[in-house]
Amino acid sequence: MARSISRRRQIVVTLLAWAIGLAIFFPILWTILTSFKTEAEAIASPPSLFMFDWTLENYGEVQERSNYFRHFSNSVIISLGSTLLGLLIAIPAAWSMAFVPAKRTKDILMWMLSTKMLPPVGVLIPIYLLFRDTGLLDTRTGLVIVLTLVNLPIIIWMLFTYFREIPGEILEASRMDGAQLWDEIIYVLTPMAIPGIASTLLLNVILAWNEAFWTLNLTAAKAAPLTAFIASYSSPEGLFYAKLSAASTMAIAPILILGWFSQKQLVRGLTFGAVK
């Protein structure tokens, strides 16, 4: 078989894959390394990769100067809050469409998907004005509401594709045994649905954490999550590479770790089940 020459090939392919992988990852690695440098070393020429005096002072200073943890907790509250609220609305909806399909179920699903395709600038002005008039501008509540609605179609779709895979015969069997609707939900469906719900939660926390249209346009200082806080480093006086790197590292680290767990769900969730 042709597989016998494959050892040398595997070495070449491995080296190539590692080189490309490291190149793609390099900007993130560089950011993490720079966060441990002093400001002077961060812009030194020629720059050094590892040989510098490692320091943690940037992390302390970012917190001290700009109250970093307020923005961090804004991010946590907004992304987790909007995801949980979304799940609360989406679980019953996806459950009913997956197990009690009606004639129009497909149309309803497609229509829900179509709301996700509405470009945000199409509704920017009304939302901005409504928020201004109701005092929701620059509040965490306001962002939780908007991000819940923005991600609701994705949440429903993801749950629907998971629920659809739960075999209907199990339900019929439990119904024959005389189970009521609520017994069915609590004892039969919930245990089978938990993995799907968990992956949906994971992916949507990631999406909400990184959302950068509404968070930038609807917050100022108070409710600004990390996306908006980091954006404030774009001003010229914010050209402190080491501090920018420290703030960035802390902003992306939790999501990088969550993201690595969600690789498979990512494909299913973001293609609305079209690629599995």
User: Which residues inside 217-246 make contact with another protein, applying CB under 8 A?
Assistant: 217, 226-228, 230-231, 233-234, 239, 241, 244-245
Site for another protein in 48-87 (CB under 8 A): none
Calculate Rg over the CA atoms of the chain.
24
Q: Alpha-carbon distance 165 to 144, whole Å?
A: 30
Q: How far is the CB of 226 from another protein (least distance, A)?
A: 7
Q: Which helix (H) or strand (E) holds 67?
A: none
Q: How far is the CB of 88 from another protein (least distance, A)?
A: 9
Stretch that binds another protein, among 54-62, 96-104, 135-143, 189-197 (CB under 8 A): 96-104
- Count the residues in the chain: 276
**Token pair recorded at residue 127:** 């939302």
How many angstroms separate the Cα of 177 from the Cα of each of 14, 100, 170, 247, 252? 56, 19, 11, 57, 50
- Contact flag: residue 43 with another protein (CB under 8 A): yes
Burial of 209 (0-12, 13-18, 19+ CB in 10 A): buried
44: DSSP letter = -
Residues 15-34, one symbol each (x = binds another protein by CB under 8 A, - = not), give: -xxx-xxx-xx-xx-xx--x
Closer of 108 and 170 to another protein (Cβ)? 108
Closer of 140 and 150 to another protein (Cβ)? 150
Residues 153-192, one symbol each (x = binds another protein by CB under 8 A, - = not), give: x--x---------------x--------x-----------
- Contact flag: residue 200 with another protein (CB under 8 A): no
Q: How far is the CB of 66 from another protein (least distance, A)?
A: 15
Residue with tokens 């902003």: 251
Q: How far is the CB of 80 from another protein (least distance, A)?
A: 16
Q: Alpha-carbon distance 121 to 135, whole Å?
A: 21
Closer of 64 and 103 to another protein (Cβ)? 103
Q: Alpha-carbon distance 208 to 238, whole Å?
A: 25
- Contact flag: residue 6 with another protein (CB under 8 A): yes
Stretch that binds another protein, among 64-72, 92-100, 136-144, 194-202 (CB under 8 A): 92-100
Residue with tokens 């649905």: 193
Closer of 21 and 135 to another protein (Cβ)? 21
**Token pair recorded at residue 105:** 């179920």
Residues 196, 200, 206, CA angle at the centre, nearest 5°? 150
Q: How far is the CB of 264 from another protein (least distance, A)?
A: 8
